[in-house]
Amino acid sequence: MQSKIGLIGIGMVGRPAARYFEEVKGLERGRDLFLYDSNPAKNANDDINQAELVFICVPTPRSKDGAADLSYLEAVFEKLSGEKIAVIKSTIPPGTTEAFQKKYLQHKILFNPEFLDAKFAWEQFIKPPRQIMGFTSASREIAPAVLALLPKAPFTSQIAATEAELVKYASNIHYARKVNFVNIVASLAEKLGVNYDNVRQAMAADYRIGDSHLDVLHGGYRGFAGGCLPKDLSAFIAHLEARGLTEEAELLRRDSEFNRKLLASQGLELEDMSVPDHDLVAQKKLNGNGPKAP
């Protein structure tokens, strides 16, 4: 598939994507690669409408009611002219790609989630464990060609866009709940006077559990923060409520409250769901409240 490629949003997802298309795929900026970000400091103000295929990597922050704010995504589609292949990489509630496809019939819209940690975004982008392409009925036939442009992965899947959106949310909610659970285990280990790290290593040896998210002091504090898990948990709770799944939403709301209290016990507040991890650690040090190691 030979196309002029555009990237909108040069942040944690867009930055490694731009590097991949330049360094690995050999695209030349301004000729067959066009970058755009509203932040002047990013030095990305290309004419994105020269691209035929556009990857959208804009934020979907937490709105006042907890749901995902899709206004940045909406603004992107208002900017696109002509007929594009639009690949959304932003985290969006299930059903969003289909809704945008119905609204913007001139485009073929896909959803391609990313599963990146800020610290290892480049390494994880070029060597992903899974590569998922979600399609609508209008974009289904071009999904294989777009998937072929991206880094290869041991697991690849072409599924309905709504299924792919649910994969992204379900993954992040699982990580959040896992962090909460191991903090409970770590607190119990402390009460019992035993070494949590020994428990952790034995748990991680089970391939069904693995070592991911078992470090209760990841980032220098206990609990989860950063730009993904808190806002995605909040958005998923709002989505469940909107679908009438109130008991399920309440269960996850208790997860959110548990995490808030855990952070508060270390002098941390999570009012801004997009605060980066390193800023939280700095705030912790400023407050003079260090995390309690189990």
Which residue among the candidates 228, 252, 268, 281 is catalytic per the annotation?
228
Residue 10 has pLDDT above 50, yes or no: yes
Residue 282 has pLDDT above 80, yes or no: no
80/10 Cα distance (integer angstroms)? 17
Kindly indicate the confidence band of residue 269, based on its pLDDT and cuts at 50, 70 and 90: confident
Q: Who contacts 139 (Cβ-Cβ below 8 Å, separation ≥6)?
A: 85, 101, 108, 109, 110, 161
For the chain, the structural domain boundaries read 5-161, 167-287
91-146 per-position pLDDT tens digit: 999 999 999 999 999 999 999 999 988 888 999 999 999 999 999 999 999 999 99
Kindly indicate the confidence band of residue 279, based on its pLDDT and cuts at 50, 70 and 90: very low
- CATH number of the domain at 5-161, please? 3.40.50.720
State if pTM tops 0.75. Answer: yes
Return the CATH architecture of domain 167-287.
Orthogonal Bundle (1.10)
Kindly indicate the confidence band of residue 277, based on its pLDDT and cuts at 50, 70 and 90: very low
115/128 Cα distance (integer angstroms)? 8
Concerning whether 57 is annotated as a catalytic residue, the answer is: no
255/115 Cα distance (integer angstroms)? 21
**The tokens of 279 are what?**
């800023």
Cβ–Cβ contacts within 10 Å for residue 258, how many? 18
Question: What per-residue confidence (pLDDT) applies to 292?
Answer: 52
167-287 and 5-161 share a CATH fold: no
